[in-house]
């Protein structure tokens, strides 16, 4: 199913109530609306990154006050993962502040994947750009997911990052997909982009040869010392519109409410879950920045009657006509409801 820009725009621009109703309707066709998948993050290599991503605390080009560290010992990663598993995590995501992994780092990375997998956890990594050989090596080690965000639209990309191109990102996503690793790819809202950039980003993701299994929607965490430290915050209603549009355009993907939840009210998060977000990061630290602590998340879940998704729980039976139906209806704003 190929999405075109005008069809995506028509969905995004629906009256808010119609948009949310449609998103929730699509969501219920594929997922249990009261379950949310939970992943835990660990920074296995922090800071000192050569890339110039203007939002990032870990770029060596900006003084965010972060001190750089070396790649973590395998034993320590496994011990942290075990703690996370014992506390209920089902997927473990490991992130490194690299442009791409160096050949000398690969054996250590492979050992981490094997060790974390042996604990019975799903594994996810985000290590920057990969070539085909690297992707195959990670797959062979047992990696389940690879996170690699396109971050924003192609048009806005060079305003945010100049040390690599949008096409480089798509190349890595193709290597990951071809290797058989599941794809996690999304972006950040609040990078000075306009609503058309947000829609274009979703069109790119939805039109990949196969949409990502997981689509993180991050809200910029403004980091002091980076060029985006004073970026204007995104309107929460606009944020929810993006989540709802992502849900309608990628009905079988997990839409992940990622960075920035400490800057969201419970009500905003509830609207995001209603709009179809069904995955979060748990634990009080993301890679370097804050995240709500687990008590806070458990209180929110209790208030909303949400419960954690168990490992390997997937979308309901695929419905090949879903996206087509949404697109046809989007072209006719006189029809407010999906039937």
Please answer whether residues 216 and 177 qualify as being in contact, where contact means their C-beta atoms are separated by less than 8 angstroms.
no
216 interacts with ligand DTB by CB under 6 A: yes
Our answer to whether residue 303 is catalytic in this structure is no
97 interacts with ligand SAM by CB under 6 A: yes
Our answer to whether residue 184 is catalytic in this structure is yes
Pairing of strands 187-189, 214-219: parallel
Stretch that binds ligand SAM, among 8-16, 148-156, 320-328, 330-338 (CB under 6 A): 148-156
The catalytically annotated residue of 22, 40, 91, 124 is 124
Nearest approach, Cβ of residue 280 and ligand SF4 (Å): 20
Our answer to whether residue 56 is catalytic in this structure is yes
Q: Which residues of this chain interact with ligand SF4, rule CB under 6 A? A: 49, 51, 53, 56, 58-59, 97, 128
The catalytically annotated residue of 40, 164, 177, 184 is 184
Q: 293 to 332, contacts with ligand SAM by CB under 6 A?
A: none
The catalytically annotated residue of 22, 40, 49, 247 is 49
* Residue 239: closest CA among 267, 265, 215, 272: 272
Cα–Cα distance, 187 to 179 (Å, whole number): 22
Cα–Cα distance, 17 to 15 (Å, whole number): 6
Our answer to whether residue 272 is catalytic in this structure is no
149 interacts with ligand SAM by CB under 6 A: yes
SS3 for the chain is: CCCCHHHHHHHHCCCHHHHHHHHHHHHHHHCCCCEEEEEEEEEEECCCECCCCCCCCCECCCCCCCCCCCCCCHHHHHHHHHHHHHCCCCEEEEEECCCCCCHHHHHHHHHHHHHHHHCCCEEEEECCCCCHHHHHHHHHHCCCEEECCCECCHHHHHHHCCCCCHHHHHHHHHHHHHHCCEEECCEEECCCCCHHHHHHHHHHHHCCCCCCCEEEEEECCCCCCCCCCCCCCCCHHHHHHHHHHHHHHCCCCEEEECCCHHHCCHHHHHHHHHCCEEEEEECCECCCCECCCHHHHHHHHHHHCCEECCCCCCCCCCCCCHHHHHHHHHCCCCCCCCC
Our answer to whether residue 93 is catalytic in this structure is yes
Q: Which is nearer to ligand SAM, 26 or 246 (by Cβ)?
A: 246
59 binds, among ligand DTB, ligand SF4, ligand SAM, none (CB under 5 to 8 A by kind): ligand SF4
The catalytically annotated residue of 93, 164, 169, 177 is 93
Our answer to whether residue 49 is catalytic in this structure is yes
Nearest approach, Cβ of residue 56 and ligand SF4 (Å): 3
186 interacts with ligand DTB by CB under 6 A: yes
190 interacts with ligand DTB by CB under 6 A: no
Stretch that binds ligand DTB, among 135-143, 201-209, 283-291, 312-320 (CB under 6 A): 283-291
223 interacts with ligand SAM by CB under 6 A: yes
Query: In residues, how long is the chain?
Result: 339
Question: What's the angle, vertex CA 41, arms to CA 257 and CA 227, rounded to 5?
Answer: 70
Stretch that binds ligand SAM, among 143-151, 192-200, 262-270, 316-324 (CB under 6 A): 143-151
Q: Which is nearer to ligand DTB, 66 or 248 (by Cβ)?
A: 66
Residue of 258, 269, 278, 279 that binds ligand DTB (CB under 6 A): 258
CB atoms under 10 Å from CB of 285, counted, come to: 14
200 interacts with ligand SAM by CB under 6 A: no
64 interacts with ligand DTB by CB under 6 A: no
Task: Report the catalytic residues.
Answer: 49, 53, 56, 93, 124, 184, 256
Report the interface residues with ligand SAM, using CB under 6 A: 55-56, 58, 95, 97-98, 126, 128, 148-149, 151, 188, 218, 220-221, 223, 259-260, 287
Report the interface residues with ligand DTB, using CB under 6 A: 41, 57, 93, 95, 126, 147, 149, 186, 216, 218, 221, 258-259, 286-289
């Amino acid at each position: 199913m190929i999405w075109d820009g005008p069809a995506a725009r028509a969905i995004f621009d629906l009256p808010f109530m119609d948009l949310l109703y449609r998103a929730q309707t699509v969501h219920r066709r594929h997922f249990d609306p009261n379950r949310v998948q939970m992943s835990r993050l660990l920074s296995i290599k922090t800071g000192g990154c050569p890339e110039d991503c203007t939002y990032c605390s870990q770029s060596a080009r900006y003084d965010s006050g972060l001190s750089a560290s070396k790649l973590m010992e395998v034993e320590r990663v496994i011990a942290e993962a075990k703690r996370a598993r014992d506390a209920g995590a089902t997927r473990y995501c490991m992130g490194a502040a690299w442009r791409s992994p160096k050949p000398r780092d690969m054996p250590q990375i492979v050992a981490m994947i094997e060790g974390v997998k042996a604990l019975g956890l799903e594994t996810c990594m985000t290590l920057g750009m990969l070539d085909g050989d690297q992707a195959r090596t990670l797959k062979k080690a047992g990696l389940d997911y690879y996170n690699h965000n396109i971050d924003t639209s192609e048009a806005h990309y060079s305003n945010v990052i100049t040390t690599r191109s949008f096409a480089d990102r798509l190349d890595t996503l193709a290597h990951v997909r071809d290797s058989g690793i599941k794809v996690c790819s999304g972006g950040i809202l609040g990078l000075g982009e306009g609503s058309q950039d947000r829609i274009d980003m979703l069109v790119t993701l939805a039109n990949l040869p196969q949409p990502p299994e997981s689509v993180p929607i991050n809200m910029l965490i403004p980091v002091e010392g980076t060029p985006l430290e004073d970026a204007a915050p995104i309107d929460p209603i606009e944020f929810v519109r993006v989540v709802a549009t992502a849900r309608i355009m990628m009905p079988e993907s997990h839409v992940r409410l990622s960075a920035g939840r400490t800057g969201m009210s419970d009500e905003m998060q509830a609207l995001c879950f209603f709009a179809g977000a069904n995955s979060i990061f748990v634990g009080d630290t993301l890679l370097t920045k804050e995240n709500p602590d687990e008590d806070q998340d458990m209180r929110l879940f209790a208030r909303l009657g949400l419960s954690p998704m168990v490992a390997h729980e997937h979308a309901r039976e695929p419905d090949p006509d879903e996206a087509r139906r949404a697109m046809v209806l989007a072209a006719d704003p006189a029809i407010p409801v999906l039937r």
